[in-house]
Chain A
């Protein structure tokens, strides 16, 4: 009865075409809940239907509109929503609906330049919004969808190799096989101990995500430890080589995003941390580029569209590091940080800052990760 009087006069439902078959991904809603939504790629059409189920015998409206929007929201400032993408279609002219109906829509070749992102201080989301304009309260329905940006780098790209140390105390050489990893990749590497005079207790590789929002004085940065992966137990001696193999698909990672719409960036670092018996930590961070590899079935399409749609994407990955990213810094030093002195500069960019927002470490989650990868890998160690 109450619904009849004050409730919406009709239910709106947005159904995206092929959403049952599409790969799904989680969207973090404002409510904090996660919802599985279909994934789209740049240049793909977004089409679907709007079901309008009347709850009354008729409904008068001043037009029905469907929009496709791309939005960047900064949590610190809710008002400053930035629409970087906005497309609209008129579905119906003003009139009276006398029965439930289904309206189809399609946005062809939508340029979706950015990856959906749900971060600590910022989020970038795409959605379809249907608005039934009415005299008093408009009927509005939104449906989120995800956008994955794809990239491709040749595997032959050089890795990261570096020699670091503390004079007369610790000299190591570490090597990661690549500087750019796709999200299902494995980081293969090794640590070579040239000099060990400290009593190492264990060593781990961490994946740090650094999110930088805004520019200038108002910018906010956040660093989160996404992964902690012990690679060595006990103290090695000079001459030992320790292997690293870290499968990325087990972690919730996104591609590296640089300067997204001049509003934010998300970058990833591999942090090699040694902890000695007095609990002192020695670490060395190294940026790596993460990207989403083009699934096989999608590659051909992508190649066709490469020139138009990927321009934003490719502009970023190439410019950062010298092409043979070989570092050989004799002078490079580990930052040394004792747990007691975990403050100041190092606290901001190391794992000190992430304790508040990252409880992953002790979470028992044994699911094999995102179920969004249709390309299965072989069961063996997939050194590539």
Chain B
């Protein structure tokens, strides 16, 4: 009995020791004691959307099911593989899946780049199913969207991290496990830090967009980039994305560039040249998410500093400085404007809450999609009507240019106002046009650029004409 008691005592001490360690482990997220996940599948379904966590096989199956249901407008593809060999799956929804129709803007949603921030991953699966369902029901908004946009949805950029996080028992899904990829790389710190370069350029002169010359070479040779990061960079290079959002968890706010402070301090509002439109874009998301835009919402944790949050939005650097993030990389290496949306105070909340997260976010997700049809768009062609790719479109007063895609098509997101747009290309004469931009839809402005040689020819002809006229008049 004494021995038993002794054993008991010491086993208890051991247990307490473990407890003590746990108590000290910091903020731990309570997950769901989700027993009977499979059993609940039927119960939680609504119109084909099952509000439960999808591991990698289930994720794949869910996307396949959407494709099977909507073969006319859906296509699944992969941008690469994770470290552990899982496909980085994307589902594309558009009226001609797999094809970039000239003039049709490209949109992307990326979720779960931090593997333990699970809500974004699930919302994107629900969104894919929702868009397919609504399309077939004839929902006008959705039909219009799918016909006029190419929507790419990547539910998880870090499937390896998710598996790690999801394998945590019970309530132990916490702040860190599963965040990085299988190599321990935080993907949202792994992108080339273009902010630094642009800050130098601001002072000393230099380009303000497409900052990575020889991007492909740099990416392929860089050994520090995770395969997931590389895959996304190639994706951005291949498809002329216009608007994007990057879904995270751990707070509730829509965050916009720049993410890195200019001075290097911990927080400092660091606006990018397109601060106005970004604020508008972020607000477009947050205003349709009731908790996010609730001015009386207390911060996620008692001591959180949410002083930079306005109407559910924040400048990234004003909140806290993030170097090497995907959001700013998009803006500075391509034409794509991306914001970061933090969807939930808990990174990996209980499964039962997924439905309500969907309810809170579905309007925002659709509304944000619609934002792509704003500002100015059109074609840059030569005088023969041939498209000019990689022409520069600059806006007077905004120190950030975009470029035209392979078909000469361009899209320039702008808040309402009067603008002067200039299109230019090497070997061509620049042309400027004035535009009055409403809130939406996008105003169409095409450019026909005259090449230098054409102009030379013209001038020569004019000269000949004048000479002819002079000689006739003067009779020589």
A is bound by B? no
